[in-house]
Amino acid sequence: MIQINPREIAAEAMVQIMAEGAYNNGALRRLLRQNGAMSRQDRAFVTEVVNGTLRNLYYVDYILNTISKVRTEKMKPWILAVLRTALYQMYFMHTPDAAACNEAVKLAGERGYAKLGGFVNGVLRSAGRQKGQIALPEKGTAEYLHVYYSHPLWLVKMWMAYYGYKFTEALCRADNKAPDVTIRVNTLKTDREGLKKALEERGVQVTLGKMPHALHLSGTADLGRMDLFLEGMFHVQDESSQAAAALLAPKKGERVLDLCAAPGGKSFTMAQDMENDGLIVARDIYEHKIELIRQGAQRLGIENITAQQRDAALWDEDSAAAFDRVLVDAPCSGLGLLRKKPDIRLKKDGQEIDQLIGIQRQILDTAAGYVKPGGVMVYSTCTLSRKENEKNVQWFLEKHPEFSGEVAAPFLPESMTTEKDSCMVTLFPQIQGTDGFFMARLVKKGS
């Protein structure tokens, strides 16, 4: 049997993600598939090392740059990947220092860098000796949160300006915990108790979520291959997204437009809430993503979704005042997803926010015209940036006096919202245990 070294796969993933620009989840999935002979334990190890290293990258690099004479940005991609993943194992996974160090030296040699084995050995031995002794920036500063919790400095500063130091620290800490898998029970086929029991019979640990059809799973190896998944008993969906669908609250027989719908999660949830009755037009700008909506709907036994490729920023006369409910789940900076997509924090620099605001406002402006008088629109993002969230809603309500905000709390379980008298809700990983998420309920006047 071929021996696959999981440490090598982890370092390879880091090269692809950090030096070649691959997305974290995509690169991991591809490498795990290509090395399918690895044991379940080794696959879990690779996933933990890659996600953990990415989640703690600013900290790991801070240690490397304190110890090494060569700065991380000057290192060869392979050597840097080997050092980062080895240091993560030593500092966060309790791998014995000597084992992590010896393996790293071997890995350097395997890709033609045998000459750098001494350098790798020196840096890691020194890191082992100095564990817990390297001075960090002073506590109470943005620089401390940046290094200790490995969040970009610009983001820490932005959140501190919004929420203050203590709240930002709690948020950063929550971002660094690997989340469990959350699913939405397919109420067209089963119910929460029935699915919980069936999952438990298959060895999955299950707890109930705050949303009425949410389950939290742990101990799931390959959920996508499980019979219950293939039979369409659930789809994977964070509780924040389930809440956004609940805030729009579509009813049986209504016409619903989901303008930025792929891969389809919120459309699927709404279709189930509507008991497969009425119509959901689910659109996205990317043709290849439309197929994901169709496949998902088919797996789940959903028949009231029509998927269409269309740019939501461009006006569609045929949709004018044609929908009871419109969802604008806008493209955004994704700063609420740091738990699940740890590479987001490394690849954004805050510059893209202003560009996104332009697109979000264009989509909102266009969407307003598709809502029937008396109809409802929900604007949502998976980000924690007030410019993309509250400021956009304020802008929209000023520009569109035919809309007003409706208090959101009555549409959500009490534990999901802390704002009791606002049309806007922000969810945080350290409070609701969800992704960082924003949503607002806007009602068009008239009847």
Ligand X SMILES: C[S@@+](CC[C@H](N)C(=O)[O-])C[C@H]1O[C@@H](n2cnc3c(N)ncnc32)[C@H](O)[C@@H]1O
Q: Which residues form the interface with ligand X (CB under 6 A)?
A: 241, 259-266, 283-286, 289, 311-313, 329, 331, 382
Q: Which is nearer to ligand X, 60 or 335 (CB)?
A: 335
Q: Name the DSSP class of 385.
A: -
Q: Which is nearer to ligand X, 250 or 263 (CB)?
A: 263
Task: Starting at the earlier edge strand, list the strands of the sheet with 181-185.
Answer: 205-208, 214-218, 181-185, 234-236
Please indicate if the annotation marks 399 as binding a ligand. no
Q: Which is nearer to ligand X, 403 or 438 (CB)?
A: 438
Q: How far apart are CA 279 and CA 289, in angstroms?
A: 20
Please indicate if the annotation marks 331 as binding a ligand. no
Q: Cβ of residue 311: shortest distance to ligand X, in angstroms?
A: 5
Please indicate if the annotation marks 318 as binding a ligand. no
Q: How far apart are CA 302 and CA 296, in angstroms?
A: 8
Q: Cβ of residue 382: shortest distance to ligand X, in angstroms?
A: 6
3-state DSSP call for residue 324? strand
Please indicate if the annotation marks 311 as binding a ligand. yes
Pairing of strands 323-329, 371-381: parallel
For residue 267, list its beta bridge partners. Answer: none
Q: Which is nearer to ligand X, 198 or 223 (CB)?
A: 223
Q: Which is nearer to ligand X, 289 or 341 (CB)?
A: 289
Q: Which is nearer to ligand X, 170 or 359 (CB)?
A: 359
Cα 318 to chain centroid, rounded = 34
Q: Cβ of residue 325: shortest distance to ligand X, in angstroms?
A: 14
Q: Which one of 101, 172, 332, 382 is the catalytic residue?
A: 382
Closest C-alpha to 425, from 447, 405, 443: 405
Q: Cβ of residue 310: shortest distance to ligand X, in angstroms?
A: 7
Q: How far apart are CA 88 and CA 79, in angstroms?
A: 14
Q: Which is nearer to ligand X, 56 or 360 (CB)?
A: 360
Cα–Cα–Cα angle for 429, 431, 432, rounded to 5 degrees: 75
Q: Cβ of residue 281: shortest distance to ligand X, in angstroms?
A: 12
Please indicate if the annotation marks 284 as binding a ligand. yes
Please indicate if the annotation marks 261 as binding a ligand. yes
In this structure, are residues 123 and 163 in contact, taking their beta carbons and an 8 Å threshold? no
Q: Cβ of residue 167: shortest distance to ligand X, in angstroms?
A: 25
In this structure, are residues 248 and 376 in contact, taking their beta carbons and an 8 Å threshold? yes
Q: How far apart are CA 116 and CA 95, in angstroms?
A: 22
**Residue 382 appears among annotated catalytic residues:** yes
Please indicate if the annotation marks 435 as binding a ligand. no
Q: How far apart are CA 271 and CA 160, in angstroms?
A: 39
Q: How far apart are CA 360 and CA 379, in angstroms?
A: 9
3-state DSSP call for residue 417? coil
- The residue ranges of DSSP E strands in 112-203, in sequence order, are 181-185
Alpha helices in 70-152 (DSSP H): 77-92, 97-110, 117-129, 142-148
Q: Cβ of residue 304: shortest distance to ligand X, in angstroms?
A: 16
Residue 321: CB atoms within 10 Å: 12
Q: How far apart are CA 357 and CA 275, in angstroms?
A: 35
Please indicate if the annotation marks 262 as binding a ligand. yes
Hey, CA dihedral for 45, 50, 55, 60, is it positive or negative?
positive
> Could you give the residue numbers annotated as active site?
382
Binding site, residues? Answer: 260-266, 284, 311, 329
Binding site for S-adenosyl-L-methionine, residues? Answer: 260-266, 284, 311, 329
